[in-house]
Structure 1
Amino acid sequence: MAKILVIDDEANLRKVLAAMLRRDGFDVTVAADGEQGLAEFNKNGADIVVTDLVMPKAGGMEVLRAVNAANPDVPVIIITAHGTVDSAVEAIKAGAFDYVTKPFDQAELSAVIAKAAKAHDVAQRSVRADAKARAAIIGESAQLQEVFKIIDKVADTPSTVLINGESGTGKELIASALHGASSRRDKPFIKINCAAIPHNLLESELFGYERGAFTGAVTSKPGRFELADGGTLFLDEIGEIPVEMQVKLLRALQEGEFERVGGIKTTRVDVRLIAATNRDLQAEIEAGRFRKDLYYRLAVVPIVLPPLRERRTDIPMLAGHFVEKYNRKLNKKIESISDDAMALLQAYNWPGNIRELENLIERVLLFADGPSITAKDLPEPVRQGSGTPAPALSAAPLEASTGEGGLKDIVRMKAAELEKDLITKALEETGGNVTRAAKLLQISRKSLQTKMKEFGLRDTTPPDGRDESIDE
């Protein structure tokens, strides 16, 4: 049950809103002004904030800025009178989720609240993006370095970018990094998940609508293209857009202009578009579900984001990052991940990618007792290497690999094979530099030397302990 904080200086309106939202199944807290509302938010938090725009002590914009600074994943909905709609639009550009006008239609407000609750739920399960998006992309693998090179080259251009990758790989982080590294960084970064919008509402969400355009359109409202003017529009799950809408989207991209639903005035905008999908759009084109001309317009700069199973050397760094994050969030004091646990994490195939890894680390920290995460703390699918087999682990049939050992022996053997392969690749990537290879693998230099000796990757160690392959 989502917790909603309602902030309004009109007592009757607070009562009406609270009663309506509680009837819809939400946990509601109310505050009489912005100052009181922020005190409540800082003390007890909220999943959604609904605030009046004009209030004594602290107005809606101040509430918006404070909530966004504290937790950008919390949607803020602005309530405004007709005379201050322009200010509400400015609030949207500053990061507000949406706005409704007084006197509001209860059905309209309920729909906005439901959409905000869904967006908050998605954000809680997604890889987080923020203003320092580039720094938030964790990893040093060769695959990720190639993605960074593309970002550096195209971020400050108007060219459209199409990000393709499986769910949970961090496509929104890449979009945020592109926006943050561009000259548009101080302009709006507007995001919309095309899969979360009903097909019959998608046009009005993208292009806005005029008053009276359809039942319930009691006032005019700008769309996401309009709100993103001067900045960046990120269309996630672009493959979900129906074919009939794709024609209108193509025109908006090519001409930089559109009309609101029910309107005749042409609106021109300057928007840099970034799209993302987990679908094979070439296959969608062959099936007649995606327009070829739109695809070529979107894929001026294609970025393919590799799944986590193809960048296993990044797993120690990602896992360490999530341990630090959830130590703070859950008030835990986990100091490390044991070598055997890390080997299992790197052997697992991660069908849910980075999102699955983050959720797993949070769950493990909740129940871990000791100062270190060990193999026994990991869930059974990870301990047993469940999931679609990774190529590195499927070199021989099961019968040929079992021998007299049981399942645990097989897992231990496969984990050792993968560990040897990862060390070999790290040494290749660093030209045999043990110090840098140890840093890449997120283990100590001494541990790496021990592992190298164990796997026969180095015959001798110099008497003085120095690594003769290092050129420092």
Structure 2
Amino acid sequence: MPERLTILVVDDDQDFLGDFEVIGRDFFELHTADSGEKALEMLKEEEPDAVVLDLRLGSGIDGLETLKRIRETWPDLPVIMVTEHADVDTAVKAMKQGAFHYMSKHPNIKTLHAIIQKELGSVRWKNLCLEEIRKQYGEMIGRSAPMKEIYRLIARVATVPLNVLVLGESGTGKELVAREIHARSGRAGHPFVAINCAAIPPALFESEVFGHERGAFTHAVSRKTGKIEMADKGTLFLDEINSLDPDLQAKLLRVLDDKAITRVGGNEVKRVDVRVICASNQDLEKSVAEGSFREDLFHRVNGIQIVVPPLRERAEDIPELTRYFSRRIQMKTGRAGPVFSGEAIEALQTYHWPGNVRELMNVVERASVMAAGREVTVQDLKLASRSGKSQGFFQELLFLPYKEARQKLFSRFKSVYLSELIQRNQGNISKAARQAGISRPGLYRMMENTDE
């Protein structure tokens, strides 16, 4: 007996549905829908192995529009178009919109079964290839040309014993690139230690990074191993290196040159073997020209340069990223989430994403949780109010009394500022408070009084 496949047949012709069920019972477990709208609702509940879709449906949206909407949400689901009146132009149009095959309305059941099995095999092979990429590159997702170039560079530099400088806007995934370089290098079995240079107050930087001896300063009640020493034989990742003040730049350069550290308050020189990967969201060459970044340190860290593209330059990766973040929040919450409508995906692809992938993740996770129905709509995304360049929010303020407009603007700023602050410090409230220059209780009060 052949493997029984689950298919959804979409047709308003009850005679055809009855005949199909009789002749196909040995090959298929059959589900039926008499309209495109009903078919889309059924797909949200359970995804079959394939869809057999009539081109000319009697009412509501037609077969081609139904196909278009299926493709927007379920891009890999095999769809076979069937019709009583086939013509070349319509067949070409259907194939361009993503139909796997186009057949007469009285198909040979064995042939149809073989076609679906073949297409399922192709989809499974594609998914296996994607899974292999995920195993190699972790949470780095995307098949666009810019991402393929990033994968190529990671593979090339991973085994080369040179320092790496990763450049890119905030939220593009620079630390992910650094982690993948480490994971594919000969140091993979040793620590990967990340330091957010902007999150450590200058007064504490030496103690955190180089370590200190007992009694080195008030409250130094025991010896502390610094981050660089922790990374011995592994990889040291210095994020936002552009934020270091000149004195700390000089001390870091000395460590990189000598490959040795001396703990604060100590005399012992300890050799360290680390590969250094630095990241910056600013143009370091420009910072060198302006005098805010040491030229000798720049040349030390700029062994090989990798530039991570902003999300707006790889919009074709957004549907895949959206599906990934949506599945991840479903796993976290333990419940099935809504699907993103085609219009919502299109809105995500046309938005300019000043916060890049990190902002997309927040939007997708929030919409997945807060959407009222089974589908995430454009309204659920709330993109207009998130855009610094969008006119909607600011136009609304222009028509309010001055004091009310000022209060709303400050409330929005506080929400965005706190969100970015907490994310940058990976949820560590103490570090976030130090970086913001406020007390820990003060930061908690601000978070409690934030509307969004």
Which residue, 291, 301, 318 being the options, matches 2:294? 291
In the alignment, what sits opposite 1:255? 258
Q: CA RMSD in A?
A: 2.1
Deviations 1:281-318 (A, max 9, x none): 12221221110110111111111111101110110110
Amino acid at match of 1:280: D
Secondary structure of residue in 2 paired with 1:163 = strand
Residue 212 of structure 1 and its aligned partner are, at CA, apart by 1.9
Map 1:183-202 to 2 at 5 A.
183-202=186-205
Secondary structure of residue in 1 paired with 2:328 = helix
Q: Is 1:316 paired with 2:339?
A: no
Instruction: State the 4+ residue runs in structure 1 displaced beyond 6 angstroms.
Output: none
In the alignment, what sits opposite 2:174? 171
CA spacing shift, 1:179–1:380, aligned 2, 3 Å: closer
Residue 330 of structure 1 and its aligned partner are, at CA, apart by 2.4
Residue 242 of structure 1 and its aligned partner are, at CA, apart by 1.1
Amino acid at match of 1:223: G
CA contact (8 A) 2:166 2:174 kept: yes
In the alignment, what sits opposite 1:374? 377
CA contact (8 A) 1:333 1:371 kept: no
CA contact (8 A) 2:337 2:369 kept: no
CA contact (8 A) 2:187 2:233 kept: yes
Residue 161 of structure 1 and its aligned partner are, at CA, apart by 0.8
Residue 168 of structure 1 and its aligned partner are, at CA, apart by 0.8
How far apart, CA to CA, are the structure 2 residues paired with 1:378 and 1:335?
13
Q: Report 1 or 2 for greater relative contact order, CA contacts < 8 Å, sequence distance ≥ 6.
A: 2
Which residue, 275, 280, 286 being the options, matches 2:278? 275
Secondary structure of residue in 1 paired with 2:367 = helix
In the alignment, what sits opposite 1:429? none
Deviations 1:298-352 (A, max 9, x none): 1111111111011101101100101111122223423532211111110100111
In the alignment, what sits opposite 1:88? none
Map 1:88-167 to 2 at 5 A.
134-167=137-170
Deviations 1:245-283 (A, max 9, x none): 111211211221121112221110110111111122122
How far apart, CA to CA, are the structure 2 residues paired with 1:302 and 1:208?
29
Deviations 1:93-150 (A, max 9, x none): xxxxxxxxxxxxxxxxxxxxxxxxxxxxxxxxxxxxxx96713101111111111111
CA contact (8 A) 1:158 1:272 kept: yes
Amino acid at match of 1:165: G
Q: Is 1:365 paired with 2:368?
A: yes
Amino acid at match of 1:192: I
Residue 158 of structure 1 and its aligned partner are, at CA, apart by 2.2
CA contact (8 A) 2:338 2:368 kept: no
Secondary structure of residue in 1 paired with 2:166 = strand
Which residue, 339, 347, 352 being the options, matches 2:350? 347
The number of residues matched between the two structures is 258
Secondary structure of residue in 2 paired with 1:136 = coil
CA contact (8 A) 1:259 1:266 kept: yes
Residue 367 of structure 1 and its aligned partner are, at CA, apart by 1.8
Amino acid at match of 2:358: R
CA spacing shift, 1:379–1:238, aligned 2, 3 Å: same
CA contact (8 A) 1:341 1:375 kept: yes
CA spacing shift, 1:334–1:348, aligned 2, 3 Å: same
Deviations 1:36-87 (A, max 9, x none): xxxxxxxxxxxxxxxxxxxxxxxxxxxxxxxxxxxxxxxxxxxxxxxxxxxx
CA spacing shift, 1:227–1:206, aligned 2, 3 Å: same
Which residue, 224, 229, 236 being the options, matches 1:221? 224
Which residue, 325, 330, 334 being the options, matches 2:328? 325
Question: Which has the higher Rg, Structure 1 or Structure 2?
Answer: 2
Secondary structure of residue in 2 paired with 1:276 = strand
In the alignment, what sits opposite 2:93? none
Secondary structure of residue in 1 paired with 2:238 = strand
How far apart, CA to CA, are the structure 1 residues paired with 2:299 and 2:217?
33
How far apart, CA to CA, are the structure 2 residues paired with 1:247 and 1:133?
36
Map 1:233-248 to 2 at 5 A.
233-248=236-251
CA spacing shift, 1:141–1:380, aligned 2, 3 Å: closer
- Give the fraction of aligned pairs with identical amino acids, expressed as a percent: 47
Structure 2 spans left out of the alignment, 5+ residues: 1-133, 392-452
How far apart, CA to CA, are the structure 1 residues paired with 2:270 and 2:361?
42
CA spacing shift, 1:334–1:221, aligned 2, 3 Å: closer
Deviations 1:144-175 (A, max 9, x none): 11111110011122211111111111111111
How far apart, CA to CA, are the structure 2 residues paired with 1:214 and 1:323?
48
